[in-house]
Structure 1
Amino acid sequence: MAMANLQRRENGKWRARYRDQTGKQIARHFGRKMDAQRWLDEVTTSVVTGQYVDPKAGQVTFRAYAETWRKAQVHRPSSAAHVETMLRRHAYPALGDRAMASILPSEIQAWVKRMSEGLAPSTVGVIHGIVSSVFKAAVRDRRIMANPCEGTKLPTVVRTKVKPLTTEQVDVLYDKVPDELKALVTYTAGVGPRQGEALALARDERLRLLGTNPMVKIDRQLVTTRNGKTEFGPLKTKASYRDVPLPKVVVVALNAHIATFDVGAGELLFTLNGQPITRQAFGHVWRPAAKAAGLDAETGTGMHALRHYYASLLIRHGESPKVVQARLGHATAAETLDTYSHLWPDSDDQTRAAIDSVLGTAARGFGDCVGTGDA
């Protein structure tokens, strides 16, 4: 700090002033000398420790800074569109025109409470996380001294257990979707891709329908951009890139679909009116079918319900968590277990059956002890 001093004014107030690192003079007035000195000491400390923030730097509006931040992020197209939507719909109406430095933690808490009255707790958490990232960047840029999102009490997210569809519900979905999407239902129920992964399926080297080991390579997804167009994008995580074996029922369905709709080499298998399927267009044809099949909050009302159905079939037929993880493209087995652990056979029953299967026949003498209460 080039200069710092205190001066008593004719009106009795104390003027504290200093020059910042650029030589610009900054002054504040206080009624008491001790308050003025305390302020100067805080500024001096922030300069010495490298935490100095120009009081004028935080006057940029949240919207202006957030837009600069957003455009600089390295996001997948779908993630970039999601961040833009969350900021535009939920953050900018409440915070957009406010100066960054003027936004208080109590105001962030009040904003979160208002959102909680109409949005799911998980959605509120996502929006708050995006806004917090903007403020964190502003702290690093020395625009503000602290992140007002720190310490916010968020609504509790209650994880609900996945309730898989029944095969009868899958059959209804198959019957109710347009003819050009019937094979999509079979493919998703029999392979378990995410929606964007399924809609990106093309008749190319990724899809192997011939031979003794039919397989599909999942290495891209179809995403809908903000302007309503579609494009191919990278997958969710590194683990999402995977090869999945194709069951016979899926091979038959895809071959029939290719023949019926004359899908050419390199073309997408699933289209509407000959065009790649956007999220909006897919929603229009999916929602009536989902309603007819009785999809609800427990099963999930989106196409993701078919992915859960696929996972439940693997578990029911004895596949391990690691195999289910690999087939679904989860980042870790822990993610798989967090989602589907309740679908695996009860471990208590398995423990009893394992012991009884051995001791119940090989060690007959143990039967004399059963029910005696001896520890």
Structure 2
Amino acid sequence: MPQKKATAKGNIRWVGRFRPPGGRETSRSFDTRREAKAWEEEQARNYRRGVWLDPNLDKLTTYEVYERWSERPAREASKKVYAQVLKNLGPMGDIYARKLTRADVDAWFHVLHTARPWANNTALSPRTARDMVAHLSAAMSMAVDEEWVGRNPIKIPRIDQDNLVRARDIPTIEQIHEVVKQLRSGGAMYDRKESGKIITKKQQPAPTVADMVLVGVGTGARISELCGLNVSDVHLLRREIEIRHQAHAVTGERVPLKTRSSIRVVPIGNDLIPVLDRLMGGRPAEAPLFETRQGLSYRAGTAGQHFQRAANHLGYGWRFHSLRHFYASRLIAGGLPVNQVQHLLGHSDPAMTLRVYTHLWPDSEEATRRAIEGILGGYGIIAGSEVEEPALRSV
């Protein structure tokens, strides 16, 4: 029952109290006894219906929800990922979890893959940003199960790279060579935020990333797969590369690929052998194929940033993933069937390959025309011709 209480100023307040079985008591004060009693009855009714939420958790922030979720038992590599997400929640982490909206999360996703103000305006790849949203969604689902919040408002976004690729989205070989030359020489100008100010800086030479571009063009490997290559994955005598690992987007550690379909052996052309031979250079089998000056494997985010700065400096809006589209377009132009293109790209099924690259295959009508072109020419049967058909011999 509500209890009467006098404030320090002598005003009368009525306190409603509710304690769920096995839980801690919650209370709220009101001007009248009727209001306090109605609140108590509402709490009891909501609890019986299974929709009661602890009012003590009204001020639980999104950051606190994710922090509690990340404290679950997990592998060390996963713990590092959780820590990175916490660092990148930004201002959204201060929003009360019960007031978090889908619009808040969509805006956070946009900031992650465009420019993070809390990280010198550096952007994450759309896939990494999407993975962070997925982690937060898992944390919010746990919060629903624990009755900290009433619902999970998060919808995990789709990323652009799964959309249809048009011919104009693919760089030419000449443009790729320009970017490689720019990476080797350095000098690309880019803006970066430091101490609250926008500063124009000059990119240093990145010859290893230039080599990574060449290998990406010649294999169609994803940037995370290239960063996960070791010297032992390259077989020059057999002229092939085994793709079985990738570099973790956040930690940079060499980890298995996410799907079995991504595991593959990719043939390499003769023109790529000198590049790979130079990269291997008698180094240990377990050494990263693409190594930083500190002797570590490149992170996908770092390599992708180098590539984008060089491409943007030249006026091209490419991402590193554009090289994969170039590789796919060459396979298709070379006449490879969809199932072979699917295997070489590491797609899960042919439908995905067709969904992304369908416009690069010739349509059936054009393919039919090429197939029958000249089939009747030997008999002089050409539309509009007055040449008579020679007599056919009986066989």
TM-score (norm 1): 0.69
How many Å separate the matches in 1 of 2:96 and 2:229? 47
2:177 maps to what in 1? 171
Summarize the alignment of residues 74-85 of structure 1 with structure 2, pairs less than 5 Å apart. 77=77, 81=81, 84-85=83-84
- State the distance in 2 between where 1:342 and 1:168 align: 22
1:269 paired residue among 271, 280, 289: 289
How far residue 61 of structure 1 moved from its aligned partner, in angstroms, is 2.8
The SS at the match of 1:269 is coil
Deviates more, 1:308-317 or 1:63-72: 63-72
SS in 1 for 2:230: coil
| C-alpha distance after superposition, 1:185-238 (max 9, x if no partner) | 33221111122322333332x32222xx43222111234756xxx431222433
| Correspondence 1:70 to 2:97 | no
With over 3 angstroms needed to count, the CA separation of the structure-2 counterparts of 1:30 and 1:95, relative to structure 1, is: farther
Aligned to 1:43: 44
Who is 1:207 aligned against?
234
Equivalent of residue 93 in structure 1, options 91, 102, 127: 91
Q: CA offsets per residue over residues 36-86 of structure 1, 9 Å max, x none? A: 558625633x434544433224443321221222354869959964x6555
Matched, 1:339 2:368: no
Residues 359 and 329 of structure 1, relative CA distance in 2, 3 Å threshold: same
Task: Show the counterpart of 2:333.
Answer: 316
Contact 1:53 1:143 in 2 (8 A): yes
Report how far residue 318 of structure 1 moved: 1.4
Q: 1:134 aligns with which of 118, 139, 144?
A: 139
1:327 aligns with 2:344: yes
* Structure 2 CA distance for partners of 1:53 and 1:347, relative to 1, 3 Å: same
Superposition map of 1:330-369 within 5 A: 330-351=347-368, 353=370
* Mapped partners of 1:351, 1:336: distance in 2: 22
CA distance in 2, matches of 1:17, 1:322: 66
Query: 1:14·1:30 contact (CA, 8 Å) conserved in 2?
Result: yes
Specify which structure has the bigger relative contact order, considering alpha-carbon pairs within 8 angstroms and separated by 6 or more residues: 1
In the alignment, which residue of structure 1 is the partner of 2:222?
Answer: 194
Offset of 1:289 from its aligned partner?
Answer: 4.5
2:319 alignment counterpart: 301
Opposite residue 167 of structure 1, the aligned amino acid is I
Amino acid in the other structure paired with 1:94: M
Residues 136 and 186 (structure 1), Cα distance of their counterparts in 2 relative to 1, 3 Å cut:
same
1:21, distance to aligned residue in structure 2 (A)? 0.5
Deviation at 1:345, TM superposition (A): 1.4
Runs of 4+ that moved beyond 6 A? 6-15, 73-76, 154-158, 355-362
Preserved CA contact (<8 Å) 2:227 2:246: yes
Query: How far did 1:17 drift?
Result: 4.7
1:146 aligns with 151
Comparing 268-277 with 67-76, greater Cα deviation is found at 67-76
Name the structure 2 match of 1:251.
Answer: 273
* Residue aligning to 1:290: 311
Structure 1 pair 19–339 and aligned structure 2 pair: CA distance change class (3 A): same
Match of 2:203 in 1: none
CA drift of 1:140 comes to: 0.9
Aligned to 1:372: none
Bigger mean CA offset, 262-271 vs 164-173: 262-271
Q: CA deviation at 1:139?
A: 0.7
What's the C-alpha RMSD, in Å, of the aligned pairs? 4.8
Retained in 1: the 8 A contact 2:212–2:226? yes
SS at match of 1:243: strand
The alpha carbon displacement at 1:313 in A equals 0.8
Partner of 1:371: none
In structure 2, relative to structure 1, the CA distance for the partners of 1:144 and 1:193 (3 Å cut) is same
Q: Greater CA deviation, 328-337 or 120-129?
A: 120-129
Residue identity in the other structure for 1:145: G
Query: For 1:275 and 1:330, how far apart are their aligned partners in 2?
Result: 32
- Contact in 2 for aligned 1:63/1:92 (Cα 8 Å): no
Q: Are residue 222 (structure 1) and residue 247 (structure 2) matched?
A: yes
Question: Which residue identity lines up with residue 255 of structure 1 in the other structure?
Answer: D
Preserved contact between residue 292 and residue 298 of structure 2 (Cα < 8 Å): no
Aligned counterparts of 2:153 and 2:326: Cα–Cα separation in 1: 42
For 2:247 and 2:221, the matched residues in 1 are separated by 12
For 1:301, give the aligned amino acid: R
Mapped contact 2:97–2:149 kept (Cα < 8 A): yes
Counterpart of 2:151 in 1: which secondary structure?
Answer: coil
334-343 vs 181-190, which moves further? 181-190
Letter in 2 for 1:222: A
Secondary structure at the aligned position of 1:276 is classed as: coil
Shift, 1:317, TM fit: 0.7
- Per the alignment, residue 259 of structure 2 pairs with 237
For normalisation by structure 2, the TM-score amounts to 0.66
Cα distance in 2 for partners of 1:281, 1:149 equals 28
Counterpart contact for 1:139–1:145, Cα < 8 Å = yes
* Counterpart Cα distance in 1 of 2:153 and 2:293: 49
